[in-house]
Structure 1
């Protein structure tokens, strides 16, 4: 919201010495986000006067059209003689009043005006456009042509209000009333302790049955509708300079008188309005939900398909506007135009003014659904004062009568859904308990009255909140008002005192170890937003009955394309991999550790925890019970080369085994034993997918999967060929750990190495052979590594050879050959018993 200081002073008698910076400091202290203070006219100095164009001579001997003008500037030039000026603009004629910068003037950008010879003539000044004076967008981008009533030689800086300060306020969702001069003026008056001249305090005629007919079919979506009619408007009437300038300073472009007046009143009172050309209306105005298949052409010329949840304004022909968002093109105010045959000026001469109050949630959803954010929808989304509708309609009528010569019809239509004032019960000391400051009842009552509340009671207060504050719904909201008006800077600073001896939890330590280990293995951490669209689960080939399909949907998502919380880390990681690959980084290894969200088996509604005391354990447990389950996962994705080629030899592309090794790395850091077996799941290639299993409480649990992604998934997501991935439930792996991870024991005694080659059926997983060897070798085994696999005629069809290197070491002695051999034989024996393994060559 852009707030011109000159306009603000109309409602609050600020001291003359107060600058925009001073007002900014006061409003910031009151809790408003005043981002900047813009000084209009900075660098602009006169003389800048009103002139009348006497003659125009077209100079045609140059490449572009040039005009040699004589302009009457009165006594402003010291001689009274016409001023000779060269100008290239074409949008003015002889007899027009224009703005003239005389020699010695300085325009914004340090553009100095002086007499100079150009195009064979001497130019003594400049005829100015709005852009050259820093006035902003007026929709013309040409020379300023003033109304004829302004006297020649008048100071144009005062006439055009070129000197001003504008406060740019970032209005937060709970301060919707500050999207108006009225709301900002109320905050300013409170901050300075000055009275407010409320522009909404107008004499409004009582409703009657003579107004334009209105039918509201949805009183929940539209709780109030006021209609007023003005006839006899001059179609050639234009917005006066003061009105156009205020709109420009507020960041809006002047369009036409009727539209400018409705925009002006919206900025002044915060109530969006709409003006209909009554000649284009067909019957009564209606308010209802859209019907299936209905369409409307909005004022921006776009044909929009309406949703049954959209609230629409209608007449006998159908929709004529999207309520609270944008009007329809078929009833817009017509621009004045001259009939070429009769010479008569045609245009809108009768308007019906709409001032309504619409449901905030309905308008917000409609605006988002149609990707159509307007000045009106921004205000309705944040809450508009329903009591201001009649006053806004009256203010619009008064301005149209004043500026366009119209006549207000006696008919006043007002439809109001029954409602009661909103009250909030609160203890008088509640703000004290929240802030930790003793304000006292008198201060609490005074501050609440300053924001417009009516307060009754002593220790137990009953507060009636004002109609323009829909955000005040509970005691904490009222406490916040007291605290901010008393000054956030006056709250005492206290440092928390955590109990000694508490460090990271075991879960946090595991999380950090896993991150360091993956980074050490060459992976780069990529943090992603936890939002997904459900269509990505289709692209990942997640089965329809998979628990990952039960997503938690957000009520108010940041993006309609990603309205749910993730159930897997892969969508974000794969999107990051695709983005980096598309930008030239083809050898990628990314990882992420983060939370995923599972829909609870029995969804419930969480209660709000108190802020004036510590919640009880039961209250916290109640909130936890209805929250989604949030396990922590670890995931990696790989593409391109895993090992680069160089003088040391050929490189190696990443493959499924690297993804499996990443899972083993995670399990080692968690101190858990990971069982790797062939699997088949969702996005992974059925022949190159490993199921990752851990043992928890004596039962095997699938903790995740690793391997190469299915070509269909790679194509659907636009990934590099042979992309690999791994995802693991880190919390489940941690539960499978044998306890805190201990540092490895270092022995000073030599190692004894024994190699074995075992022949097994081709269907036997190497992981089962390895697990049997580890268990059979006993405590003397330090490490075990598969270093070769072989298939061929020598060992028979359907068989494979697995060669392992076993390292034995004791912590207190040097092992003998017999001890190492015995441990090896025990390992082979158990492998033979469990997997049918036979020593190769035996």
Structure 2
């Protein structure tokens, strides 16, 4: 919200300077984001009148102007502006004047003719970014007066950064009300009088969506002067509040919006077809907006319509078909109260955000509509003339916002604020805020005015007391409360240890958005249903992630684009999946990605690209933290995002813990990533039930090693060999080593040789040769039975 300090002081003028005023507003919760002068510094500019114009003898585009400034003889000034004309009142920079940019006016010769000053444009005075000609002033501008003083340019534009709950301060009147409360001053804004109708013509009106629009007012105004122009004082006030003057009708609606906070709209009455209808849109109903954007409406969109269809998106933006133009002579004013929930989110759905939607979403005073339309009518008639008709009102009493009284207990105030306030002071503050109080046995019953949508419960009222009393006046105190320390189970999976483990292995932690693009979701998990956002930040962030991989892959893209060829990333966070019953599951996950060489570039190791087994080693280091590493296995499987030949499902007792593998080649190509990109992902809640490491007494008896060279099928995983050998050897097996793997000549193309070292040791005896031979025999028999393994001869 941007406003002019001078305009604000017309409503309420506390005896404090600008800095104190802005500090006061910030301390009251209306944070002042910036304070800037409304015009740059300049001096020596006066209001003059062009007496006559003659052509320049040596330049076709220049003219000699005789300008009266009220200080003596007329000045001869050379001007090249096309819009300069005799009898105009204009700003004149005399010799010695200083303009913005430290530009000093001196006597000069242009094409051999002397010029004693400059007729200024708005841009030259810093009042506009660009100008097509000189600034023409009203005919009643006082000749000879200092232009800066007459325009009140020693003013400041105050930019407020309001929180969403303070929609009541999205207007000059709202901010003035706050300043008056803080300084115990009454408001002295302009008087508002109802406009007496000069015709009995009523525009027919029908409201069917009464819950969304409990009150709608309109008024027909005929016979406007199309040649009328917005007065300079109104243009200047709009400029200081960040708006550009367009035309009298539009400027009046914007002016009332800034002044009172009530959005208004004006239709070109000659372009309306039939009665005004306030209803919900039909599915797919078309509408061309004022910005020429064509949209298809959803059935929950509230619209203003006539017999031709929708002509405005209610509370957001008008339609192009009934827009006011420079030729408009008859208008229909609209002033309505739209329920905040009926407008909230609708503008963003169509990629819009307007001043009107910003206010209606936060709540507009439901008693403000008639006052605003009367004010707008009075302003417009003063500028353009015209014949106003009577107000036409549609009001659904049963749908009006209900504001039940709030009970406020005196003893509750010190418990929340930390200070004790006298009853008289409480009543004074709340009364100044416009609240109505009725005494009760332990406090008050408080009725909240219509413009304060944010006051709904007792705590809100107490917060208001603290805000107006002054946060800086509340002494600091130490809060006291009982605490309960929760001790995590030692067997739980420690995420901090997991992070430290990955960082120690060369990974960097990434934090990415939980929102991803639907196209990326379809590439990685085409079979999972994506949760679409109702109001996404953008179309590229319109779905909730069902995996952490999309964020890591996009981060890898950005790193590779910046010449970081070795990428190691991990992330922890939630994934979001819709279950078959329609419920949303939010599951904590841990994912990692590895691309590039195994080691950073160095002289001690030759370049070696990372592969599946390197990533598997990092995964196993994490799984070791659970204390149940031996219970977890990797089973070959297929995943849409992973290479079918380098993909495994991580399991424990048949339960899926996650996935690991190389990125699918086609997906790597689409994402412009290296083919050798490896990922894994773990479901953290499945790892929570860990096992605490425990000491096992060391055996005092010697160990014995037996080596076996086995022939197995080439697709036999080592995990299956390990499981069979451990089950057969029993408690005597202390360790199982793989010290050679061979595939090639003499053993066939469909087999491979694996050399195992079995280390056997008993806790209560020395193993005999027969004991060892029996154990080895059991292992060989089990391997042959389970996997068809044979001793290699």
Normalised to the residue count of structure 1, the TM-score between the two structures is 0.83
Change (3 A) 1:562 1:525: same
Q: 1:601 to 1:318 in 2, by over 3 A?
A: closer
2:103 — aligned with what? 111
Give the 3 Å change call, closer, same or farther, for CA 68–235 of structure 1 in structure 2: same
The answer for the alignment partner of 2:366 in structure 1 is 386
1:207–1:414 Cα contact (<8 Å) kept: no
Distance 1:816 1:108 in 2: 101
Q: Counterparts of 2:414 and 2:723 in 1: how far apart (Å)?
A: 65
Give CA-to-partner distance per residue, 1:300-338, whole Å, 9 cap, x none. 223333333222222222222221121122222221xxx
Q: What is the CA–CA distance in structure 2 between the aligned matches of 1:451 and 1:810, rounded to whole Å?
A: 86
Question: Of 68, 93, 105, which residue of structure 2 is paired with 1:101?
Answer: 93
Tell me the SS of whatever aligns to 1:572: helix
TM-superposed deviation, 1:570: 1.6
1:75 aligns with 2:70: yes
Query: Corresponding residue for 1:790?
Result: 742
How far apart, CA to CA, are the structure 2 residues paired with 1:151 and 1:836? 107
Q: Which residue is 1:512 aligned to?
A: 496
Contact map agreement 2:589 2:683 (CA 8 A) in 1: yes
Counterpart in 2 of 1:33? 31
- Contact 1:693–1:701 under 8 Å retained in 2: yes
The answer (yes or no) to whether the contact 2:45–2:91 under 8 Å persists in 1 is no
Task: Show the counterpart of 1:728.
Answer: 682
Alignment partner, residue 216 of structure 1 = 207
Contact (CA 8 Å) 2:593, 2:678: kept in 1 or not? yes
- Post-superposition offset of 1:762: 3.0
* Counterpart in the other structure of 2:219: 228
| Corresponding residue for residue 163 of structure 1 | 154
Deviation (angstroms), 1:248: 0.1
Partner of 1:414: 393
Contact 1:210 1:412 in 2 (8 A): no
Residue deviations 1:595-634, cap 9 Å, x none?
Answer: 3345689999xxxxxxxxxxxxxxxxxxxxxxx6544211
Q: Which residue of 1 aligns with 2:783?
A: 832
Match of 1:526 in 2: 510
Check whether the contact 2:311–2:321 (CA below 8 A) recurs between aligned residues: yes
Q: Is 2:406 the partner of 1:425?
A: yes
Corresponding residue of 1:620? none
For residues 556-595 of structure 1, the aligned pairs below 5 Å read 558-559=537-538, 562-563=541-542, 565-595=544-574
Aligned residue in 2 for 1:339: none
Residue equivalent to 1:690: 648
Give the whole-Å Cα distance in 1 for the aligned partners of 2:771 and 2:68: 112
Offset of 1:261 from its aligned partner?
0.8
Native 8 Å contact 1:275 1:354 kept in 2: yes
Provide closer, same or farther for how the CA distance between residues 322 and 504 of structure 1 changes in structure 2, counting only shifts above 3 A.
Answer: same
Gaps of 5+ in 1: 336-346, 605-627
Q: Deviations over 1:762-796 (max 9, x none)?
A: 34321222345567778898876656533235234
Contact 1:73 1:83 in 2 (8 A): no
Moved more, 778-787 or 142-151: 778-787
| Cα distance, 1:297–1:678 mapped onto 2, change above 3 Å | same
Tell me: CA distance 1:181–1:782, structure 2 relative to 1, closer, same or farther (3 Å). farther
1:308 lines up with 2:299 in the alignment: yes
| Equivalent residue, structure 2, for 1:338 | none
Kept in 1, the 8 Å contact 2:36–2:158? The answer is: yes
Tell me if structure 1 keeps the 8 A contact 2:234–2:255.
yes
CA distance in 2, matches of 1:104, 1:425: 65
Q: What is the deviation of 1:594?
A: 1.9
* Partner of residue 625, structure 1: none
TM-score by length of structure 2 reads: 0.88
> Could you tell me which residue of structure 1 aligns to residue 349 of structure 2?
369
Tell me if the contact between 1:542 and 1:682 (Cα under 8 Å) persists in the aligned partners: yes
Between the two proteins, the alignment pairs up a number of residues equal to 786
Q: Secondary structure at the match of 1:70?
A: strand
Distance 1:746 1:402, change over 3 A: farther
Work out which of the residue numbers 359, 363, 383 in structure 2 matches 1:403: 383
Instruction: Single out whichever of 103-112 and 165-174 deviates more from structure 2.
Output: 103-112
> Is 1:22–2:20 an aligned residue pair?
yes
Post-superposition Cα deviations, 1:665-709, rounded to whole Å, max 9, x if no partner, equal 221233331311212234222322111113xxxx44210000012
Question: Are the structure 2 counterparts of residues 391 and 39 from structure 1 closer, same or farther at C-alpha, using a change threshold of 3 Å?
Answer: same
Go from structure 1 to structure 2 and tell me whether the alpha carbon gap of 1:745 and 1:226 turns closer, same or farther (over 3 Å shift): farther
Contact kept in structure 1, 2:99 and 2:125, CA below 8 Å:
yes
The residue aligned with 1:802 is: 754
CA–CA distance in 1 between the matches of 2:69 and 2:195?
46
Once the two structures are superposed, residues 277-307 of structure 1 have per-residue CA deviations (whole angstroms, 9 ceiling, x without a partner) of: 2222222222122223432222222333333
Q: Evaluate the alpha carbon distance shift between residue 466 and residue 209 of structure 1 in structure 2; reply closer, same or farther with a 3 A threshold.
A: farther
- Deviation at residue 12 of structure 1 after TM alignment: 1.0
Matching of residues 414-563 of structure 1 within 5 Å: 414-418=393-397, 419=400, 421-428=402-409, 429-439=411-421, 441-458=423-440, 459=442, 461-489=444-472, 490=474, 492-494=476-478, 510-532=494-516, 535-544=519-528, 549=529, 551=531, 558-559=537-538, 562-563=541-542
Q: Post-superposition shift, 1:257?
A: 1.0
- Does the Cα contact within 8 Å between 1:425 and 1:475 map onto a contact in 2? yes
Contact 2:513 2:551 in 1 (8 A): yes
Alpha-carbon distance in 2 for matches of 1:634, 1:403: 67
Which residue matches 2:637?
Answer: 679
Q: What pairs up with 1:205-284 in 2 under 5 angstroms?
A: 210-284=201-275
In structure 1, what is the Cα distance between the partners aligned to 2:172 and 2:778? 85
Residues 690, 491 of structure 1: CA spacing in aligned structure 2 closer, same or farther, 3 A cutoff?
farther
| Residue 738 (structure 1) aligned with residue 722 (structure 2) | no
Aligned twin of 1:358 = 338
